């Protein structure tokens, strides 16, 4: 009987079940006594007291089992929450430790996917000018994805999250009316539950953290939703910091007037390309460009027109430069143009083509602008690549001294004027 009490008490999932089990034991034991023990013995108090004793014992065992089970659940819950908090701390520390946007997004999707064990985790950004267009910036199942354009009409859960600025939870894509048009497609792809958490900074919602899960037992728990919201908030701040850092970094290497690279950036790239030219033994050319009569333009028309002239030349440089070239404002009205793996003849043709693009397009303020260009090539003009800039500068001053609007190069001790595509006089 005692063994039966312990077994039945331990089978109780909660105290209600324990009480029912205790009553069952008491009634069963009372029935057995009534059927097996004579009436005169049954009336003895020592026999009858066994039934409440059994009930009390059963309740006691059940209570102890229930308490132990409750403590075990609490310990398991605390252990799970501790692991989740550690994962959350790990993710937030990683997020705030980098100012590289692509690296940050990649870390985000992989860490969240691992922490919550979801089938897909993606980060989407929204096109500000066209809220219908979104871009998948990172996805843990496709590390190569980068600004994959999507139509948000096909993602109503993302659209709603962006519009409301709140999380959207879909427990079953077949049952939620929001997903009525796309539910079958999603279930066919193996997705049952969706969680969309907005990436919000201040008043601006610029993207979402999109989680998709195929789970047999329900969707996302309250803790998982809270987890993603905390991660999304930390990510939004980190992404804005990374964006600000990139802007400041760009400003540090950009000329404010022309929005071209500045002298500092040019010097860095010049050193890099010089080393590359020496290692590869391939030519490196440089064009030094100066606006003709710029001082007179400034004095006669004013500095505002002078700034317009500088921006005009900068625009032409951007339009004529190749993908791998480095064009920069060297200072004042001087510009430099680095041409990697380009010999003297090719550099001269490029210089003349640019010179003609300047003179062939009237400058509105003065009616006409021209430039003087000096060309120097390693190793043709100088065996010392670090003297390349000096050679180009010398050639540019020779061009100006001869009246401007021409291209000059300096080879050894002689200078020659290039009138047209490689033609030398």
> Would you say residue 342 lies in a domain?
yes
Enter the tokens of residue 296: 């007179």
The answer to whether 124 touches 137, Cβ cutoff 8 Å, is yes
Does one domain contain both 157 and 194? Answer: yes
Full domain range(s) for residue 40: 2-82
Task: Say if residue 213 is in the same domain as residue 357.
Answer: no
Same domain membership, residue 241 and residue 117: yes
Whether 409 is in a domain gets the answer yes
| Pair (114, 166) in one structural domain | yes
On whether both 66 and 195 belong to a single domain, the answer is: no
Same domain, 242 and 119: yes
Q: Which CATH number covers residue 172?
A: 3.30.450.40
Per-residue pLDDT, 404: 93
pLDDT at site 206: 78
SS3 assignment, position 137: strand
Q: Distance (Å, rounded) from C-alpha 180 to C-alpha 404?
A: 71
Question: How many whole angstroms separate alpha carbon 204 and alpha carbon 195?
Answer: 20
Answer yes or no: is 256 within a domain. Answer: no
Task: Please indicate, yes or no, if residue 88 is contained in any of the structural domains.
Answer: no
Nearest-CA neighbor of 122 among 101, 146, 98?
146
The sign one gets for the Cα dihedral 129, 130, 131, 133 is negative
Domain boundary among 204, 223, 251: 251
Chosen domain end from 251, 272, 300: 251
- CATH code of 363's domain: 3.30.70.270
Which residue, of 251, 285, 304, is where some domain finishes? 251
Segment-wise mean pLDDT, segments of 10 residues, the chain, 425 residues: 61 68 72 71 62 70 75 84 78 79 84 83 83 83 82 89 89 91 88 89 78 70 87 85 85 93 94 91 95 93 94 95 94 95 94 94 86 92 81 93 92 44 37
Residues 404 and 347 placed together within one structural domain of the fold: yes
Domain count, the chain: 3
Sign of dihedral through CA atoms 210, 216, 218, 220?
Answer: negative
> What does the pLDDT read at residue 129?
75
What pTM value is reported for the model? Answer: 0.60
The reply to whether 87 falls in a domain is: no
Q: Tell whether 294 is covered by a domain.
A: yes
Q: What is the pLDDT of residue 130?
A: 79
Q: Do 269 and 352 share a domain, yes or no?
A: yes
């Amino acid at each position: 009987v005692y063994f039966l009490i312990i077994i039945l008490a331990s089978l109780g999932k909660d105290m209600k079940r324990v009480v029912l089990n205790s009553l069952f034991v008491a009634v069963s034991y009372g029935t057995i006594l009534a059927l097996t023990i004579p009436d005169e013995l049954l009336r003895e108090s020592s026999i009858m007291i066994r039934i409440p004793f059994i009930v009390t014992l059963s309740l006691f065992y059940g209570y102890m089992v229930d308490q132990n089970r409750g403590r075990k659940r609490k310990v398991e819950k605390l252990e799970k929450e501790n692991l989740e908090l550690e994962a959350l701390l790990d993710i937030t520390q990683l997020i705030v430790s980098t100012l590289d946007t692509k690296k940050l997004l990649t870390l985000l999707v992989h860490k969240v996917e691992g922490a919550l064990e979801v089938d897909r985790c993606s980060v989407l950004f929204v096109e500000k000018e066209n809220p219908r267009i979104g871009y998948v910036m990172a996805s843990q199942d496709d590390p190569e994805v980068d600004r994959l354009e999507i139509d948000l009409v096909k993602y109503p859960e993302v659209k709603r999250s962006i519009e409301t600025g709140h999380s959207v939870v879909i427990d079953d894509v077949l049952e939620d009316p929001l997903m009525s048009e796309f539910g079958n497609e999603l279930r066919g792809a193996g997705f049952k539950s969706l969680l969309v958490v907005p990436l919000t900074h201040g008043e601006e919602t610029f993207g979402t953290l999109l989680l998709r899960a195929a789970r047999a037992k329900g969707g996302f728990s309250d803790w998982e939703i809270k987890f993603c919201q905390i991660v999304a908030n930390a990510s939004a701040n980190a992404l804005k910091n990374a964006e600000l850092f990139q802007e400041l970094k760009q400003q540090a290497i950009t000329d404010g007037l022309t929005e071209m690279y500045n002298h500092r950036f040019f010097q860095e790239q010049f050193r890099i390309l010089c080393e590359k030219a020496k290692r590869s033994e391939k030519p490196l050319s440089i064009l030094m460009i100066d606006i003709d009569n710029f001082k007179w333009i400034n004095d006669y028309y004013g500095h505002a027109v002078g700034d317009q002239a500088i921006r005009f030349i900068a625009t032409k440089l951007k339009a004529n430069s190749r993908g791998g070239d480095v064009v920069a404002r060297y200072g004042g009205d001087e510009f430099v143009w680095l041409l990697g793996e380009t010999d003297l003849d090719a550099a001269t043709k490029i210089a003349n083509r640019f010179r003609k693009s300047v003179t062939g397009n009237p400058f509105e303020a003065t009616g006409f602008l021209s430039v003087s260009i000096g060309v120097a090539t390693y190793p043709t003009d100088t065996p010392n690549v670090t003297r390349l800039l000096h050679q180009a500068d010398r050639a540019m001053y020779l061009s100006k001294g001869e009246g401007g609007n021409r291209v000059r190069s300096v080879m050894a001790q002689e200078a020659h004027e290039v009138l047209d595509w490689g033609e030398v006089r």
